[in-house]
Structure 1
Amino acid sequence: MIVFRNCAVLLVIASICSFIYGIGQLHVEVEANACRMTYMFGEPMFARVRFTANKQFPNYGLYYYYEGARRDNALQQSMTGAPVIFVPGNGGSYKQVRSLASVALRKAREHLEVGIHLDYYTIDFDEELSAVYGGYMYHQQTFLKHCIRSILALYRQPSPIVLIGHSMGGKLAQSVLTDAQISQHINAIISISTPLDQPVLNLDAHLSQFYMDTHTQLSRTRTASNPTNGTNVCQSLHQRQLSEERMASQHLSPKLDNVLLLSTGGGNRDLLVNAGLTSSQFNDLHAMTSAIPRVSLSCDHLSAVWCLQFMQVINRFLFSIAQRRNDDTVIFSSNKQRNMQSALSHFVRRRPRQQSLVNLPSRSNWHEERRLVINKFFTSGLKSHYHELIGLHRQERYKKIAIEALNVESDENWLFGCEAQRHNDTELLTCGKATPLTHLIQRLPNTDIEPRSIAVLDLHNLRKTYQQWSHLLVRLPPGSQRTGYNLDIYDPKERIVDIRIPRWYAYGRRMAINETLQGTLHYKLRIADLVEPYQSLRIHVEPLQCLQPNYRITARLCVPWAAGFERYQTLTSPEQKPGLYVNVPTLMPKHYNTSLNPIMLDFYLDPVCRYRISYEYSYADALSRIVLQYYGWFPAHLVCVLLIVLRNQLDKFQRVGSFNSLKPYIGYLQYTSIYLVTGCRLIKKLILNLKFLPEPESLDYSINVSIIIHCTAIGISILLVLGLWLALTVYGHVFYRLALRLTRLSSTSSNIMLSIMTHLPITYGILTIGVAIGASSGLGLLLAFVFYFLMLSNAYKDYLEDFLWQKAADLVKLTAPVSTAPEQSEEQAVNNSDTEQPLFEDETEADDADTEVEADSEAESMQEAQPAEEKSDEKAAESCVGLQNFPFHVTLLLMLFMLLLLNGPTSFAWLRSRRHGINLPDSSLASSITVLASLSLLLQLRAPQKLRGYWILSVVLYFCAGCVLLYSQAAVYRLNYVIAGAFALLAGQQSLGCLMEKLLPKYLD
């Protein structure tokens, strides 16, 4: 038992250190912000759109964006552009539309001859924090519907509308599809860094209900896509995307399936909404900004609405689906398949125009290349086109060919297939006609200095598909810049390496590729066992021999079950930050076969070097991802620890009878709550088999995550109780004076009030419940916490100070030189050894229980030998009516503090709404009233008392702690009900126990 206790101590300390280290690593391995700022070419102006519903929403507004001189009649004329509505998110401003709208205005002015322009509208939601309080979402949804109707009324003919939502605005835009009258006027919805299928933090019951209602309605009216066992989105470059295939085959309903839904994520720079939350099963297309053509960078949560590269791509897409009518008005096309093709071209990969055969001049620079590997460059450029023929007929094992062109424009056709013929007079092989293969070419991102375009082809498939072809043709255009091409023909078995992510306890690097050959262009790593979002694999690419000092390697990561999460990264040095990390955005689906569909990591190497590629488990990145992905579980684990502590305190009180001690950490130095972490995983399987019980949250993640979070919660609970004890001891007088100043009460009045609250706590409950009902539950909880804190401080402040000074004096004595006096008796040595306390205690140990019972029975005989510390404890307990057990009340105070923090967003929303006279729903009112009533009853009964039923209460508290881990890790708002239930159980047990103590003697008489 001692060994296990010491291991638990080490585990808690290691978990706290790991969690703190993970927090510190969040910003270390993050790429620099490469977004270019968007500047307006005119003064940004906002014309308010007024409609009848404005009176119902005094703090909301709808605006039309324009630039230049102020125009009071901006909306009096008939609108002719295609309407776009920008919906801001959590704490967002309506002015965030400036970057999007300004780019659209500039694009329209540059192409006046086309006559296509967009009308941008934006909504002012008063910068409400909708991500933490769900009551805002229904309010904002109603206003958004009014805005859509009002904008439609501004046009002579109904025009379909595009919604662009940032953060929670994207979820709000998606939710209006549940209204059939509104959805018929929606053309497309673009969400930017939006948690679509589940919130980042589910702190509010209204927010959970909002997500549930939207999901239920969309499930009935829109086709959903879920990953299955055979789904693999890592298609080859020459194959069509999965979304496109589904679009071509599925039947489009006249309602919601005709609305194009696009979602985008910011990547590793977005620390507010992680990548896995930005996709939805109802989307048609998802893309990360790091993989979007012409963007190729990661955006943080705020820069996603002003990043110039990203704003240009969105507006290019909108202009591509807009069309001009005969009356010079502009609308968005209703052809979803055409719009989907355009979305794929702009957000996934640029689609080249379909071209027929190209006639080539026979009198030009024609050459034939027979080697397997070649690097050919023209430093000073070319004066005319250069043609290089590459034969398709090779040895059987050479099935793959990689061809790369440097400094060739993306629209240039430089790769062809043809049937070569030899001229009799010149004996040169030439092609009179050739078929462009531009659709097989991929332009690698992050290569603005020297653009790289590469094609990886299957020679066998080309020969079978185009039997008349004999050669591939590389056609380099003329120019003054350095140009050239690289060729690599290889056996794919030599370039595909299968690796597995090492176990978390496996330390050190492992070799994937010892050394590549000079001139190698392409390698592929297939990674198995990488299934959870927190896992991280660090890849090291080391150049060995380089012909040039500079090199560039592009890595492409594809997760087979996560569509739209392709990630590109360019490496230029081994010490580059951020390094190359491989991780997955979402948990691997159940029954998914990773051996058949592994994670793909393609390396497009620079042939000027040879490379060594190794890998290792990245502890730093894994810890930072645990913090980023699972920090929302921390409140549930902390409440679970507090419930176990309360259970331990009541169990010890039931055995000993009292623990009149000023040590607040009694019950906190425990490790039994760790048993629940493993036990709940087994209980979940039982619950799933019992159909009548509600289904618990998913526990398919690794137990390592739960252990780290839970042990960190144990350590934080100890720090919290020590901090609260220190605040009561040192700052009790300070808080008392601050409360007097805030309430403007005199010392006499405050003493009278505290005396009333201490001796008649029922008035305490009536007052706080009245405040909760009349104002806000959070305000009532705050008042209760302040009163409870002042009561404890007033009752114990003198004795706590004496206790603190006594401990300080003992510490000084321990640090002083100790003389080894031989006269020290053996009895004194034994007494000194008895004062030592273990760091962790287990309430199940029989030795501790026997010691406490024996000490209680021999209290009279050892009255004279009692330490001053225990005498002060008893003196404090005797003088504090109803507060005899200090650790018990400290735990209740911490649980009340947790409930106060959980209701903080509701309180803040209530304070903001008071300015406009708006009544917002309070989902935690019932639980708050239960806690306030129970707490006042406990204080009135002077709890805890020596009564029956403590063992039943201990079992129920253990059950509540298990329910927290099963049902409240993601749904944080359910902790309100668990805490309220714990308070109600305590109050009920104390009330029934006191009633039975009074009635039972009468019944026996």
Structure 2
Amino acid sequence: MVSPWKIGYCVVCVGIIVYGIWDYLSNFQKNKCLMTYMFEMPEYIQIPLGKRLKEKYPRYRLFIYGEGQYARKLESNRKVPVNGVPVLFIPGNAGSYRQARSLASVAHRRANDKRYSFHFNYYTIDFNEELSALFGGMLQSQTEFVHECVKKILSLYEYNKPSSVVLVGHSMGGMIARALFTLPEFEQSFVNTIITQATPHQAPVISLDRMIATYYNSVNNYWRTHSNTTLKHVTVISTGGGFRDVLVRNELTSLRGITDPDLSISTSTMSVPNAWVSTDHLCAVWCKQMVMLTKRAMFDIIDPATLQVTINTDERMNVFKHHFLSNPGTKKIPDYWKVEIQLYEEIPWVVKKEKTWEFAKKRVAEDYYYAVPMDQEGVNSFVAISNVDLQDWICICKLERNEERCKTCKSLSQKGKIIPTFDSYRKIIHIDYKDYPEMTHVVLIITAAPTQVEVMGDSYNKDYRHLSYKLPSVPDIVMTYPESVTKGVSVLTLYNDSLFYNLQLKGLDSVLRAYTAQLVPKHCTSKKDLHEGNMMSLHVPWSQEDVYSFSRVNEIGNLSIKLQSLASPMEDTNESVELRIYIDPTCSYQLKIIAAPTESLGQFIRFYGGLFPSFMLAILLMGLVFQLHQIRRERKCADIIEAISSFGAPYKILPVVVIFRFILNNESFEALITSFGLPQEDSRELTKSGLYSAALPLMLYIISLGVVNVHCYLLIMALHIFSKVAAVLFRWIPSLLFTFFEKIKVLLLTLAILTSCILCGSLGIIISYICFVIQLARLCHLTRVSNNGNIATKFNFGVTILLIFLWVVVLSFPASISWAKNLRYTFILLDDSNKLMSVLSVLSISCLIVLDNPISARESYLYLAPGVYVVNVLLLLYGMVSVYRIIYAVTSVLLGLAVTRIIYYLKNGQHIDIEQEKSD
């Protein structure tokens, strides 16, 4: 009888996972991306690559994009008449060459409409929609094919011959773009600009394949080593999709520590000026806001003298910073900023002595200069918001004695920053008076306009607006439950005559902490028809991942307070996350901080979900160790649930792991390990990202323990149901035919071995797994009709092996999909890094199916059980992040079990007596 406490514990653990997955997959802002539309039919014209490349890469193709008359012109000529700027789109995991349409179409339309003297030629690659993020065997061939495409593209030009190709990579396509430079024969001057969309640069999303891990190490190590030498001419832009991208979290898209920060930009689409949207993984290629600003940036990096991409890296970086990081409020990057602005006497000079003021009109008939004195008592800072469509809209001046107004002023417009909403071109600027001790006035320039104009200013003292707040900790939330997660804590009352507040959030030092900031309007002194609305922004000082929330005047504003990445070590440990609030100065508000436990669970799944497989398998292996000891001592075997209850406690494995982890991370031992070429243990990777803590393994183990219990129970129930259904369906079969079925089983196992050796290792694993399931279903039926303890032992032990072997099936399954997708090209899966492990797994499981009596070799379990325990320790040290090593652990355990049985049967000259088993 299972205790209620254990049932409750399992329900809680499964609930944590289920609620976390639900929040992770659903709790984000709705898709605010606009669609990109076309006015002519898109066409993809294949470019012939020659017989050699066609034979070497039969699965891949190269296309050039066209539409309308341009496409017909391309098709009517055998030799492609290209004379524009070449851009190559590289699709990612399961990506299509047609994903280049949005960027290519907008570029084509913009060049025609604006009548530029140049245009872009968009090329796109068909990778047969291969699963490059799950199976690393094709990454090298894809990289080499892109190299051939770059050379082919440059050879197509006769006039205005370009020297480089712009690479745009989506998802894994971005990694392939960077991997080009690792090829020995690649001419590195062929590429000087790389734009990546939702590309996991730091590490694979999940390392299911050793070749993926090797590929990443090779590419990233090359870029770290050569960023300031052979790669100093290359600029790289990386954008992550924010919270909507549930496939690639934003932290992985960062180029931190990989590229030269002076030659690269890493940001989130949620932070990109005039976009401010979160994009899912596929939306990244067609989201209009991102497509438009990407194309503006690409048009701006063209050198008007050569009509090709400028070779000046500083110019390219200035353009990309303008469009992707800090746009001061201009649609196009200015050719220059005025140092000094002439102030005309005929324009009215309006002195605003009020500390907070607003200018709002539906249309403005004449120009104004609004002058704000800087010598007001108790004031040391100024903030202004303006939507005036003017490049130079704010300046600072020194009013001379006996003068009524300034004649010139120093421009500060380039220090402004555009803020939501989309296409409103509202700009904001913060001015610290101590930086300009000789100046007397801030001047805001308002020009005549037929559209609505709103300008607001606020002179304030930093001591009263720059505040600090310590976020409630977990004990605080528990103590004040349920108010902490329903009504929240009232942090601050924002009174009238205030435009801006800055709140430093202390304690937001973990990705697991999540809250909601709620801005509640209370009272307005006047009706606000012209006010744009309120804005909150979460500023993370160690990354370009600011998050914005916009709400109308009378609406409640909500902003999620949680991290997309955690820098470690931080550049400045005194820096804190800041909540910046911009409100209507004629209204009062209440700011609340509400604990968000479900979002914390979503963060837990987002950052740590990929670590669960190793802990779940470790618990199963602990159960196997108990069963091996029990069989050796008592000649019987408890079921896996009882075995885990008896020997699966965390204190029986984690302290040993902690000791070995301490030893491996010791400097002297680390040097010794490195000298032997052994890898570092996996917690080091988590530590670099700031994600590791001493309590993390225990937390993952405890949750996995409950989940594994439920998993085991469900699998056993499924086997019972399957065996009952099979017994009803096949009860008409004569008993003599079971001998024939046993021979078929041997044939299937032989087929699995041959398949894994010749065609695809994963395919053989699947066949042998099916055979194992059928055998266990038959044993399950025999346990119901017979009281034979030997059969019960076989079944219980077989269930454990099935659960362990299931992880090999799951982790190798992408390889079988890749094999199936490429059947029309080849029957053999090439570059299968798990081929040896697959063959050994199939051989081992075949032996365990045929030699299915675990009691026979029980004497050898005295040595095998400690061996499994050691494998388990190594698994938790080296397989936590590197999930592909799970296959090595499982294969070694299965191989050990198979070898012990083979040795026993060879030594004793015994064989399986099928008829005797049937009589039992």
Which TM-score applies when normalising by structure 2?
Answer: 0.87
Paired residue secondary structure (1:631): helix
Deviations 1:584-624 (A, max 9, x none): 22233147653x12222222223232222232432111101
The whole-number CA distance in structure 2 between the counterparts of 1:175 and 1:531 is: 34
Counterpart of 1:371 in structure 2 is 354
1:528-582, Cα deviation, whole Å (9 max, x unpaired)? 33233232232222223223478733222232332x22222224489868x3122
Find the aligned partners of 1:539 and 1:944 in 2 and give their Cα distance. Answer: 62
Partner of 1:656: 634
Superposed counterparts of 1:375-414, under 5 Å: 375-395=357-377, 397-405=378-386, 407-409=387-389, 411-414=390-393
Question: For 2:346 and 2:631, how far apart are their aligned partners in 1?
Answer: 101
1:780-799 to 2 correspondences below 5 Å: 780-799=764-783
Return the alpha-carbon distance in structure 2 between the equivalents of residues 287 and 798 of structure 1: 61
Which one-letter code corresponds to 1:921 in the other structure? D
Q: Report if aligned partners of 1:47, 1:75 keep a CA contact under 8 Å in 2.
A: no
Aligned counterparts, 1:287-298, within 5 A? 287-298=267-278
User: Is the contact between residue 625 and residue 869 of structure 2 (CA under 8 Å) also seen in structure 1?
Assistant: yes
CA contact (8 A) 1:947 1:993 kept: no
Q: Which moves more between the two structures, 172-181 or 553-562?
A: 553-562
What is the correspondence of 1:257-336 to structure 2 with a 5 Å cutoff? 257-280=232-255, 281-283=257-259, 284-325=264-305, 330-336=307-313
| Equivalent residues in 2 for 1:523-534, closer than 5 Å | 523-534=501-512
In the other structure, the counterpart of 1:431 is 406
- Displacement, 1:42? 1.3
Q: In the alignment, is the contact (CA less than 8 A) between 1:649 and 1:666 conserved in 2?
A: no
CA distance in 2, matches of 1:101, 1:715: 51
Task: Decide which of 469, 482, 492 is 2:462's aligned counterpart.
Answer: 492
The equivalent of 1:715 in structure 2 is 706
Task: Indicate the RMSD between aligned Cα atoms, in angstroms.
Answer: 3.1
Equivalent position of 1:820 in the other structure:
none
Q: CA deviation at 1:137?
A: 0.7
What CA deviation, in whole Å up to 9, does each residue of 1:381-434 have, x standing for no partner?
Answer: 332112222112233x522111222x422x3432121233587xxxx8222222
| Native 8 Å contact 2:267 2:545 kept in 1 | yes
Q: 1:967 Cα deviation (Å)?
A: 1.2
Q: Does 1:82 align with 2:67?
A: no
Relative to structure 1, the CA distance from residue 573 to residue 75 in structure 2 (aligned partners, 3 Å threshold; closer, same or farther) is farther
632 and 378 in structure 1: CA distance in 2 versus 1, 3 angstrom threshold: closer
Instruction: Give the deviation of 1:960 after TM superposition.
Output: 1.9
SS at match of 2:510: coil
User: Greater shift after overlay, 720-729 or 429-438?
Assistant: 720-729
Q: 2: distance between equivalents of 1:912 and 1:753?
A: 35
Q: How does 1:708-857 map to 2 (within 5 A)?
A: 709-732=700-723, 751-756=738-743, 766-800=750-784
The alpha-carbon deviation at position 766 of structure 1 amounts to: 4.3
Aligned AA (1:785): Y
Q: Give the Cα–Cα distance (whole angstroms) in 2 for the partners of residues 606 and 629 of structure 1.
A: 37
**In the alignment, which residue of structure 2 is the partner of 1:887?**
796
Q: CA deviation at 1:309?
A: 1.5
Q: Distance in 2 between matches of 1:753 and 1:277?
A: 54
Report the alpha carbon displacement of residue 7 of structure 1 after superposing the two structures with TM.
7.0
Kept in 2, the 8 Å contact 1:22–1:627? The answer is yes
> SS in structure 1 opposite 2:474?
coil
* 1:792 to partner: Cα distance: 2.3
Check conservation: 2:382, 2:431, Cα contact below 8 A.
yes
In 1, Cα distance between equivalents of 2:121 and 2:548: 34
CA distance in 1, matches of 2:399, 2:139: 65
Instruction: Report how far residue 753 of structure 1 moved.
Output: 4.0
SS of the counterpart of 2:858?
coil
More moved, 620-629 vs 188-197: 620-629
Q: Is the 8 A contact 1:358 1:435 kept in 2?
A: yes
Contact 2:657/2:873, CA 8 A, preserved across alignment: yes
Aligned-partner SS, 1:377: strand
Structure 1 residue 920: Cα displacement = 1.3
Matched, 1:900 2:880: no
* Whole-Å separation in 2 of the counterparts to 1:575 and 1:993: 76
Measured after TM superposition, the shift of residue 664 of structure 1 is 6.1
- Provide, for residues 9-44 of structure 1, a one-character-per-residue CA deviation record: whole Å limited to 9, x for no partner: 654432211111112223443111111111122111
The answer to whether the 8 A contact 2:191-2:234 is kept is yes
3-state SS in 2 of match to 1:588 = coil
Pairwise CA distance, 1:64 = 0.6
Q: Residue 539 of structure 2: which of 555, 558, 563 is its match?
A: 558
CA distance in 2, matches of 1:64, 1:616: 52
* Mapped partners of 1:472, 1:750: distance in 2: 97
Partner of 1:859: none
8 Å CA contact retained: 1:665, 1:887: no
Conserved? CA contact 1:402–1:456, under 8 Å: yes
Q: Partners of 1:357 and 1:705 in 2: how far apart?
A: 57
Match of 2:104 in 1: 101
Q: What amino acid sits opposite 1:491 in the alignment?
A: N
Cα contact 1:664–1:725 (8 A) shared by 2: no
Relative distance call for 1:489 and 1:887 in structure 2 (3 A) is same
Q: CA deviation at 1:91?
A: 0.8
Mapped contact 2:360–2:452 kept (Cα < 8 A): yes
Alpha-carbon distance change, 378 to 141 in structure 1, aligned in 2, over 3 angstroms = closer
Contact in 2 for aligned 1:44/1:68 (Cα 8 Å): yes
Cα 1:600–1:539 change in 2 (3 A) is same
Question: What are the superposed Cα offsets for residues 883-919 of structure 1, whole Å, 9 maximum, x if unpaired?
Answer: 7432111111122222111110111112222210264
Q: How many angstroms does 1:81 deviate by? A: 0.5
CA 1:644–1:494 in 2, change beyond 3 Å: closer, same or farther?
A: same
In the alignment, the residues of structure 1 paired with residue 139 and residue 772 of structure 2 have an alpha-carbon distance, to the nearest angstrom, of 34
Aligned to 1:222: 227
Note the alpha carbon deviations across 1:816-838, whole angstroms, 9 max, x for none: xxxxxxxxxxxxxxxxxxxxxxx
Shift of 1:222: 1.3
Gaps of 5+ in 2: 329-333, 674-678, 911-920
Aligned length: 863
User: Is 1:153 aligned with 2:155?
Assistant: yes
> Distance between the aligned counterparts of 2:872 and 2:695, measured in 1?
19
Confirm or deny: 8 A CA contact 1:145 1:182 kept in the other structure: no
Secondary structure at the aligned position of 1:63 is classed as strand
Q: CA deviation at 1:282?
A: 3.1
Cα distance in structure 1, aligned partners of 2:12 and 2:363: 60
Q: 1:188: which partner in 2? A: 193
The verdict on how the C-alpha distance between 1:996 and 1:399 changes in structure 2, with shifts beyond 3 A counting, is: farther
The 1-side partners of 2:11 and 2:870 are apart by: 27
CA distance in 2, matches of 1:361, 1:324: 35
| Structure of higher CA gyration radius | 1
2:648 alignment partner in structure 1: 672
Task: Give 3-state SS (helix, strand or coil) of 1:587's partner.
Answer: coil
Q: 1:165-244 alignment to 2 at 5 Å?
A: 165-179=169-183, 181-223=186-228
Which amino acid is the alignment partner of residue 400 of structure 1? S
- Contact 2:612–2:704 under 8 Å retained in 1: yes
Contact 1:422 1:430 in 2 (8 A): no
CA drift at 1:770:
1.8
Q: TM-score, normalised by structure 1?
A: 0.80
Q: Does the aligned pair in 2 maintain the 1:47–1:74 contact within 8 Å?
A: no
